[in-house]
Structure 1
Amino acid sequence: MRHQILRSSLAAIAASLAVPALAVEETFETEGPSIRVETIANGLSHPWALAFMPDGSMLVTERNGNLRHVSDKVSEPIAGVPDVDARGQGGLLDVALDPQFEENRLVYLSFAEAGEGGNSTAVARGVLSEDLTRLDNVEVIFSQKPKVQSQQHFGSRLVFDNDGYLFITLGERSQAQFREQAQQLNSHLGKIVRIRPDGTVPDDNPFVNQADALPEIWSYGHRNVQAAAINPESGVLWEIEHGPRGGDELNIVQPGANYGWPIVTLGINYDGTTIGEGVEHQEGMVDAIRTWTPVIAPSGMMFYQGEVFPDWKGNLFVGGLASTALVRLTVDGDNISGEERLLESLGLRIRDVAEGPDGAIYVITDEDDGEVLRISQDAG
């Protein structure tokens, strides 16, 4: 009954939102089922992430600093969001609900935070009011160190694991003078960190007892991770990070592991020069299980578990910015056995992807007039 109510709620959103004539409403053939793609919300300014509420509505971030509630309409900005440094790639980024949201109403936001020395990625949480108009008791629970002068590579995805710990993916801030810090354990740049929901550090983090290491660090040697999700079969975090010019990579994240950047990479600098010594493998550093050259520019990912697309159950879906595609990957254990690119003909930058409570697939587009698109089986 609950799923029927959620399906009805999401269908009402799609039917009742007023959208312009240019909104998407198309059917596409795939290697599997025919799919129907429709706009259910638009007018969003470079939306970055979406998170579903228990009733099937959603929270959507806009990079300029607005958090909005999307139901049968797009709300006014929700009050209480922290100030964000909305320059370049920075701004308001990911949004996630606490695993106990129905009891505590906690919402988590990642964002570019200005401060002494420049800026960095931070994570705040607050209590969403019952009328959905504001966040109360907002507190910053994590702030990346050090802050530097850069407008690039903030990460950042927020992922809760099955034990309720929070993973935060972090960029290495792009510029050559900072990127070496991805290999240094006294810096959060180029890391994935793991904390408790209140910001404290779990006792079993891999570097918690190492004097020269920041205890939040879970893994290192990352470039700019903007796609991450827990594999439901293994309970392990998977991530996809942007390569430079070539070399986007999909990694299975293990505690304490080194993923190589900037020593190991399949890409090159944007000016065509070699990065470091051009090493593609090195002992003690973990190789990706899949790479892309040319890049897809990955952002947002999810393992599909719904019933709307039974043939796609267990598949991994990844948003593609440069590829203007929703990338579907067939997962075989710890390997990828196939790939299909969906929605390419729309020419839209896919920033995030999520499975709705109704089993449909939802994506958001990184555009001046950004949209929420719903993907379902074509009934025709």
Structure 2
Amino acid sequence: MRSFVTFASAFLVGLISFTNCTKRTSSTATQTGGGMAAEQQLAGDDLTKARANYTNFCGGCHGRSLETFVNRKWQHGDSPEALFKGIKHGYPDQGMPSYDTTFTDQEIRHLVSYIREGIVAQKGKTETKSNAAVLKSEKLNFQLDTVLTGINVPWAMAFLPNGDMLVTERSGTLYRFTKAKQLQKIEGVPEVLAQGQGGLLDVKLHPDFSKNNIIFLSYSAVKRDGGQTLSTTAIMRAKLEGNSLTNQKQIFEAQPYARTRHHYGSRIEFGRDGYLYFSMGDRGGTKVNPQNLSVHAGKTHRIKEDGSIPADNPFVNRQDAMPSIYTFGNRNAQGMALNPTTGDIWLHEHGPKGGDEVNIVKKGANYGWADVTHGIDYNGSKISDLNQKDGITDPIKIWVPSIAPSGMAFVTGDRYSGWKGSLLVGSLSFKFLSRLELDGNKVVREERLLQDIGRVRDVRLSPDGYVYIAVENPGIIYRLVPVSN
């Protein structure tokens, strides 16, 4: 499936516009030998063009205001020379393509200057919204209640029966946020590779958590082999006892491990059949993994809670297929939710440049990536001429340009009477909350809420019926509180 890369560990993989790219041969800079000359302050047409190039090719992953660059740890350095090299030649293992044929060397130098100037301008800024403001949507009014601050990337939330909240921080920490507003670290989490899009990802409670205290974590597992650091998507089952995890068991470990640091997935949801569904991204293997049933990457998987395989999985009897596969042809799904009306599992996926999708998970279905896509590659090159094909399950919603969707929740209950039945989706690139109105299995319209709230990483509905959203860089968790008109 096509999905928008919501975060790239190198420098600039993101795009948001779906306009066609003019491809040019990179110039040879006589003064610099094709490298980075002394920095210059941009102005006039140079500034306008650099801003447009950043917005069109970088803003989707790194924020339209360069907010994800602030206070980051630069894996390859943040000098002008290092940035120039990263943009020009790319880091394919980290999801960063080469822009050598997209930009001239002079355009790359201007882009580097624009990035470095923007980082300085962004430092010290905050996007925390005022709790007092009444925000108006088409169907109801609400206020934002700031619940939690002080962490960088809150990737996922889960609500405990006693009113506490579990929060994963992508760097590798699992927190308990208590009703008394104390942030407590939970011990016993798995080792993660917190690079690129990797880290500690989703958290899900067992349906009978109140009786067994079992939780499930998805994460980027790591191993060292022959001097290389490799990673993959994994699922752990563990018991939460106080602020410790015990009886940890890795119930899924995707094969093969890879050098790449992006497209891990990975959201978790329990189906009404009692089985565990979860997404796994293609790990950057665009032309290799999604249509290949002998690998786990680029699929939706279905397993029992102990990691064993349901007997009725669609490919369980095929010798050339991984038995946990439930759907294939997926790109990088970072939103998954159970539709409370139909009982179907819904998910959304990042497309490349254009072509984010909402899909309904159907047994054995092929969602097409990368034979079929509504997007193009980040550097403007074509991926496929097709956006439909026999045997491919069409999405029910497409975003062009890409919004970089993350997090997903259906609105139930009566707290948000005007939104009841809607599907809420976060946007990383455009920094809003999307409310999709549904008519059965059709998306009939979209309302965009909380414009510029921040990069929305997760969206959840709490047991008491409130909508919570988690934004990143800076990390803030908000609760949406309806108010009288």
TM-score (norm 1): 0.90
Aligned-residue CA RMSD in angstroms?
1.5
Cα distance in structure 1, aligned partners of 2:382 and 2:194: 31
Q: Does 2:366 align with 1:258? A: yes
Name the amino acid aligned to 1:183.
Q
Match of 1:353 among 459, 474, 477: 459
Mean Cα deviation higher: 89-98 or 277-286: 277-286
Which residue of 2 is the match for residue 164 of structure 1?
274
Name the amino acid aligned to 1:98.
H
Shift of 1:230: 1.1
Shift of 1:21: 11
Shift of 1:55: 2.0
Which residue of 2 is the match for residue 134 of structure 1?
244
Which residue of 2 is the match for residue 332 of structure 1?
439
Name the amino acid aligned to 1:166.
L
Name the amino acid aligned to 2:419.
W
Cα distance in structure 2, aligned partners of 1:279 and 1:33: 40
Match of 2:234 among 89, 113, 122: 122
Q: Does 2:280 align with 1:174? A: no
Which residue of 1 is the match for residue 472 of structure 2?
366
Q: Which has the larger radius of gyration?
A: 2
Query: SS of 1:312's equivalent?
Result: coil
Which residue of 1 is the match for residue 425 of structure 2?
318
Which residue of 2 is the match for residue 146 of structure 1?
256
Which residues in structure 2 correspond to 1:158-237 (within 5 Å)? 158-176=268-286, 179-237=287-345
Shift of 1:121: 0.5
Shift of 1:238: 0.8
Gap runs ≥5 in structure 2: 1-125
Which residue of 1 is the match for residue 416 of structure 2?
309
Which residue of 2 is the match for residue 75 of structure 1?
183
Mean Cα deviation higher: 43-52 or 20-29: 20-29
**Greater relative contact order (Cα < 8 A, sep 6+):** 2
Shift of 1:23: 5.6
* Corresponding residue pairs, total: 354
Which residues in structure 2 correspond to 1:17-56 (within 5 Å)? 22=128, 24-25=130-131, 26-56=133-163
Cα distance in structure 2, aligned partners of 1:246 and 1:257: 22
- Cα 1:55/1:280, change in 2 over 3 Å: same
Which residue of 2 is the match for residue 3 of structure 1?
none
Cα distance in structure 1, aligned partners of 2:134 and 2:202: 29
Shift of 1:125: 1.2
Cα distance in structure 2, aligned partners of 1:325 and 1:21: 12
Cα distance in structure 1, aligned partners of 2:462 and 2:169: 19
Query: SS of 2:168's equivalent?
Result: strand
Shift of 1:270: 0.3
Shift of 1:76: 2.9
Shift of 1:280: 0.8
TM-score (norm 2): 0.71
Query: SS of 1:310's equivalent?
Result: coil
Which residue of 2 is the match for residue 243 of structure 1?
351
Could you list the per-position Cα deviations for residues 82-109 of structure 1 after superposition, in whole angstroms to 9, with x for gaps in the alignment?
Answer: 0000001100000000001011100100
Cα distance in structure 2, aligned partners of 1:70 and 1:375: 18
Cα distance in structure 1, aligned partners of 2:157 and 2:431: 18
Mean Cα deviation higher: 22-31 or 302-311: 22-31
Shift of 1:69: 0.7
Q: State percent identity of aligned pairs.
A: 43
Shift of 1:56: 2.3
Name the amino acid aligned to 1:31.
E
8 A Cα contact 1:150 1:175, kept in partner = no
Name the amino acid aligned to 2:261.
Q
Cα distance in structure 2, aligned partners of 1:267 and 1:357: 37
- Cα 1:149/1:24, change in 2 over 3 Å: farther
8 A Cα contact 1:37 1:376, kept in partner = yes
Shift of 1:115: 2.2
Cα distance in structure 2, aligned partners of 1:222 and 1:293: 18
Which residue of 2 is the match for residue 296 of structure 1?
403
Gap runs ≥5 in structure 1: 1-19
Shift of 1:75: 2.4
8 A Cα contact 1:39 1:372, kept in partner = yes
- Cα 1:378/1:267, change in 2 over 3 Å: same
Shift of 1:306: 2.0
